[in-house]
Amino acid sequence: MNIHDKYKPLTFWEKLYLPAIISGLWLTSMHFFRNLTLHILRALRLRKTADGAVTIQYPEFLRPLFPRLRTMHRLTKRDDGTPRCVACMMCETVCPAKCIYIIADEKLENPEIEKMPESFDIDLGLCIFCGYCVEACPVDAIRMDTGILEISNLTRKGMVLDMETMLNLEPMQDRYVKYTKEGEIVSQEYLKQDLSK
């Protein structure tokens, strides 16, 4: 479309508005009647496929998540089970919501590591899930691939994730499976991808 079309004066037909309004009403009412018919047919058990809505009834049925979707944070571990995090505070610095709180600890017994988080808290009540912390991490210590979206709590304090919790979270791959409305798995294509990459 030419940008100048924007300023093209309307023709008489267009100025009437009514034809355009009626065509719009036609479109929406066709959807209305089609969906109404389908719903009724479905309710009468006359038809099984082709629903009158694209809605996925959420708590009962899950929709597949895209592998790159950012969900609740977790901390990765070294082979010996200690956190990979070196408490460099890059994530804390880059966090636009200032919801990461790290207190560093000195590990003199292993000069190769030297620095480790003593505590690593994320206040999910403030977090905006921008994923900058994951981008900023130089040692791949924080990821947002747990697939956990249902984050709620009765207290503000309960919204704070501590290091222990985050270390014990696993990447949850089954949230990437596609289900039918009846809850049967129809596609595992996301599962085949290596999510760690």
Residues that bind other proteins (CB under 8 A): 18, 21, 24-25, 27-29, 31-32, 35-36, 39, 52-55, 57, 86-90, 92-93, 101, 103-106, 108, 111-115, 138-139
Whose tokens are 């000069």? That residue is: 111
Secondary structure class of 27 (helix, strand, coil): helix
Question: Is 159 in contact with 50 (CB distance < 8 Å)?
Answer: no
- Coil, strand or helix: which one is 150? coil
Q: Which residue's CB is nearer to other proteins, number 63 or number 188?
A: 63
The smaller minimum CB distance to other proteins, of residues 28 and 196, is found at: 28
- Shortest distance, position 113 Cβ to other proteins, whole Å: 8
Task: Give the residue with the Cβ less far from other proteins, 84 or 178.
Answer: 84
Minimal distance in Å, beta carbon 50 to other proteins? 11
Residue 174 CB, shortest distance to other proteins, in Å, is: 25
CA distances from 62 to 39, 92, 186 (A): 22, 33, 12
